[in-house]
Amino acid sequence: MKGLIDLPRASIGVSRWRRFRATIDWPLTITVALITAIGLLNLYSATQGTPHASKFNSQVGWVVVGVVGFAIATIVDYRAMLRVAWIGLGVVVVLLVVVQLLGRSALANGSTRWIKLGAFRLQPTELAKLAVIMVLARLLTPTDPGAYRWSNLAVPGVLLLVPVGLVAVQPDLGSAILLVLVILSVGYLAMPDIWPMVHVTLGGMLAIPVVWETMHDYQKQRVFAFLDPAADPTGSGLQILQSIFAVGSGKLVGKGFMQGTQTHFKYLPEHWTDFPFSVWAEEWGFIGSIVLVILYAFLLLWILNVALRSRDRAGAIICVGVAAMTFWHVVVNIMMVLGLAPVVGVTLPFISYGGSSLVTFFVAMGLVASVSLRKHGY
């Protein structure tokens, strides 16, 4: 009798587990896992046999943390997180201010970007991207066109620019520009009328001369190096030239795993952070590069597919924001590697070394998975 009573309960438990498992976004999860595996393989090749070999073990640890963040972001209802979106942005602003006062400086240019907490280094700039996306999702939720008048959006718009300004003065102009691109991308796709976004874009373009005058000398040198890298091949143009050489020398099928000469002979600086695509292209060639680009393209299209199938407007905007963030990271990084954009220190998602960036992208994908899960009524 006991067995007969317990059997239906067990069956119900199994049924619920199967139902939950069926609602997991497997295409998203598998694609992220594949890109992450490529990132670890690439980092192993880039650092083994060098003084930076310990970075691989650190990155594996961050992958574990990122997977936990992905799971938590998936399980927690994204609508609950939207309720505290403005609080989250406020916390990020406080952290960015703390970075200016107590942060650690980068060795290359003296920019202050990290808060050191024991063995852990927190980069609030990465958190700012998620905070901005969540605030945009809350801000652009109303379906009434009247909610999008200048009088209603002016103050929230200014508040959104506060983290952008704080990131720019670190100075981290690349991340500041990326934040602006995310805001503009979501605005163009989510606003019922694009003309306010056109006006904002034109205003931003008119401000370019002012931005140029406030830029640091090393930032201007990067722009000059992009325009003519051969003018200073051993100085400001070194990274771009060596990156182009690495990508081109990979040819069709590459030189093979751990056989990249530009990497292992240390011709290419910072190849594990800003230029991991150069390492991958040299060792796996054009075919390997196309495979990685296809994985990113599928990931972006799938995120947009989740947005289209979202149960509400807020979930769709979150997905659009995550897609925009991922798209601009991938495009800017690869263009930078190919000499089509100035070197601005934008990471390649799930490939570049760095804990804050990696965990941020895992959590971002978890938000998309949360939206995907809730369309089933969870």
pLDDT band, residue 179 (cuts 50/70/90): very high
Rounded distance between C-alpha atoms, residue 355 and residue 353, angstroms: 7
pLDDT the model gives residue 79: 93
**Which amino acid, 368?**
V
Looking at per-residue pLDDT, the higher value among 26 and 215 belongs to: 26
pLDDT for 16 beyond 80: no
Looking at per-residue pLDDT, the higher value among 115 and 351 belongs to: 351
pLDDT for 239 beyond 90: no
Helix residue spans in the chain (DSSP H): 2-23, 26-47, 54-75, 78-83, 85-102, 124-139, 150-168, 173-190, 195-206, 208-214, 217-227, 238-249, 261-264, 276-308, 313-337, 355-374
278 with 42: CB under 8 angstroms? no
Residue-wise pLDDT for 38-89, tens only, equals 999 999 988 887 777 788 999 999 999 999 999 999 999 999 999 999 999 9
Which residues does 145 contact at the CB level (< 8 Å), separation at least 6? 192, 193
pLDDT the model gives residue 50: 74
Rounded distance between C-alpha atoms, residue 195 and residue 138, angstroms: 21
Model pTM score: 0.89
pLDDT cut 70: percent of the chain above it: 84
Helix, strand, or coil here: 104? strand
Q: Strand pairing partners for 120?
A: 117
pLDDT the model gives residue 92: 93
